[in-house]
Amino acid sequence: MDLNSKTESGNRQWMRPLVGVLLMLLPILFFYLNGVGATILCSKNHCQLDRKSFLGGSHDEFFISEILRIGYNSEGASQIRTGPSSYGDSGSDLEIHLNDGSSLRVFGTPVGYSFGNLEFRSLDSLRTNPIDQEIHLESYSYGGKLLFIGPTMGFIGYILILIGLVRPVTPDLQPKQLQKNRIYNLTLFSFTLTIVIFSYYILWNLGKSYLLSHFF
């Protein structure tokens, strides 16, 4: 093997880990740009709605007696019944419709892809059942498609990193070297998988905490 061939082989060997790292970083960037959270704090008849994304936020206040219904906007895929007084389009923006004809957008997320207790059923219960104590509802979402695309990209990136760093375990190796390579590959797999799981877990919880924070 000449010098040029060795150089090209070395470049290909390190290209996979670099692409893998990029694929693992992109979902974090997408989560950062698409994350949204909302909190509603109600005391007796008065409520405060805080909506926050990574790039901004908004604040609204309203009275429970002003709520006409809880539903969705008209851009959803199909009409669904969401509660005794709630109806709307699945997969569209969750909204609080007021008696004066205006509406407050909570956040846009497909049904089933939000995390927390701030959703159409809890809001409908808030409207229909009088409250005698303080109520705090909160939810966050990263978007339905991203929940599938993000982990898939991260998994592919992780596999590419492993392929670029593992050592060969072919039968033509000396038994001692073969055993060393197997131990190295097992250690590499265990160590990197632990780091990836722990890192993504920490990032997920940091993102959730940020989106549900009341400080803008």
Q: Both ends of the chain: CA-CA distance in Å?
A: 60
* Whole-angstrom distance, CA of residue 98 vs CA of residue 57: 21
- Summarised one tens digit per residue, pLDDT across range 46-56 is 999 999 888 88
Angle formed by the axes of helices 144-165 and 175-211, to 10°? 160
Domain ranges of the chain: 3-32+145-211, 36-141
Residue that is written with structure tokens 């701030």 in the block: 118
pLDDT mean by block of 10 residues, the chain; 216 residues: 53 79 89 86 90 88 89 54 50 79 75 73 80 85 76 90 87 88 92 91 90 71
* Whole-angstrom distance, CA of residue 23 vs CA of residue 145: 16
pTM, full prediction: 0.71
